[in-house]
Amino acid sequence: MTAGALDVALEYVRLGLRFDRVEAGFVDAYTGNPRIRAQVLDEPAPTPRQLRDRARELLRELDAAGLPGDRAAFLHGQLTGLECSARKLSGEPVGFVEEVRAYFQVDVELGDEATYAAAHAELDRLLPGDGTLADRYAAHRRREECPPDRLEPAVQALSSALRDRVRGQYGLPDVETVRYEVVTDKPWSGFNYYEGGYRSRVAINADLPHRLSQLAHLVAHESYPGHHTEHCRKEQGLVARSGHLEHTVFLVNTPECLMAEGLADLGVPAAIGEGWGAWSEEILGDLGLRFDGALAERIAVVAAPLNRVRQDAAVLLHDRGADADEVAAYLQRWALVSPERARQQIRFLTDPLWRAYISTYVEGYDLLTRWLDARPAEQPVAGRFARLLDEPLTPQRIAAEIPAA
């Protein structure tokens, strides 16, 4: 590593830590030298304009740092996202579409309502009976709800089973652990707090109903082979073996977030694949928790296009001038969610720190699904997915590896 490379990586880490002093929660995880963080905390609090100027300086210095192409591309994307965040924090007007592009290297637009209508028609066939589709879909979801007092043992059982599979498929440090806790009053359903040293704390929001058919996805997303697994593999490889300091800090509203959320949402396909419904049904059935795994798997495929409705809601709110009532009605109509769930989603979409973050799930899942599907015929899913866990890939790099249609 050249002195220039070390300097840019270290200064990027310092800059990321400084953002947390202006916007609490901006640093999602830090596993580097505690003295670096202590030094940043001892500095005078920065202004957003100072953060913006430093991000621009580091972008200029990056070309002369002598970094390999993949590291330079990673840092360029991260610093571009930070520069945009600093502009927003300083009060500069930034359009929502521009914000998403700067943070996550993707362009967003409204989805096709005809596609949503087609998904509704398929759901209508899968959920026969009286009443509207929204009523029948809501009733189906209620039937699948996990009793609150059974949530923790259900999560633990699925986590143990997924951990065994991921250890066999991808490998994990022997000392890695995940600790689960149930929390309330949060705008999300689950959250991974990576503590370093191959340890995670995963919080599950008890305010939201958790469906039995979705618990495997939640655990896979947060732990195995999702966020916890990615953090462990990169701490062990990119940081410990290769000395890439930039991966000791994980910052929100940067391209690495889209990569992380996309790979986490692909956790069940990557760890289990087809038949995940029956697999999950059997594990939870041993706890006396029953649901129809085959039906859940069919519904998940049919309803997948409706995930994009959440991003539409953000575009309508922040780019098209719609008010909260209009957006709530849109979510209820096309995503088939309850008024309460729609309001919970709007709470997330209007949080100052998280308002653009929905695109990491929608665009991340879509981009990485297409990339996995475009793998060479002889390459298994696990071989392709392992690259997401180990390499400093960016959305731009992923898009470039997908053959043109």
pLDDT in tens, the chain (405 residues): 444 655 999 999 999 999 999 999 999 999 999 999 999 999 999 999 999 999 999 999 998 999 999 999 999 999 999 999 999 999 999 999 999 999 999 999 999 999 999 999 999 999 999 999 999 999 999 999 999 899 999 999 999 999 999 999 999 999 999 999 988 887 678 899 999 999 999 999 888 889 999 999 999 999 999 999 999 999 999 999 999 999 999 999 999 999 999 999 999 999 999 999 999 999 999 999 999 999 999 999 999 999 999 999 999 999 999 999 999 999 999 999 999 989 989 998 998 889 999 999 999 999 999 999 999 999 999 999 999 999 999 999 999 999 986
Q: Whole-angstrom Cα distance, residue 48 to residue 295? A: 50
* Cross-strand partners of 182: 204
Per the CB < 8 A criterion, the answer to whether 123 and 303 are in contact is yes
Q: Which DSSP letter does residue 320 get?
A: S
Q: Whole-angstrom Cα distance, residue 317 to residue 232? A: 36
Residues 6+ apart with CB under 8 A from 345: 310, 313, 331, 337
* Cross-strand partners of 251: 27
Per the CB < 8 A criterion, the answer to whether 79 and 256 are in contact is no
* Cross-strand partners of 211: 145
* Cross-strand partners of 196: 199
C-alpha distances (whole Å) from 240 to each of 13, 14, 261 are 16, 19, 23
Q: Which of 251, 259, 238 is nearest to 18 (CA)?
A: 251
**E runs forming strands in 147-268:** 177-183, 190-196, 199-205, 249-251
Around 318, how many Cα atoms within 13 Å sit in the side-chain half-sphere?
27
What does the pLDDT read at residue 1? 43
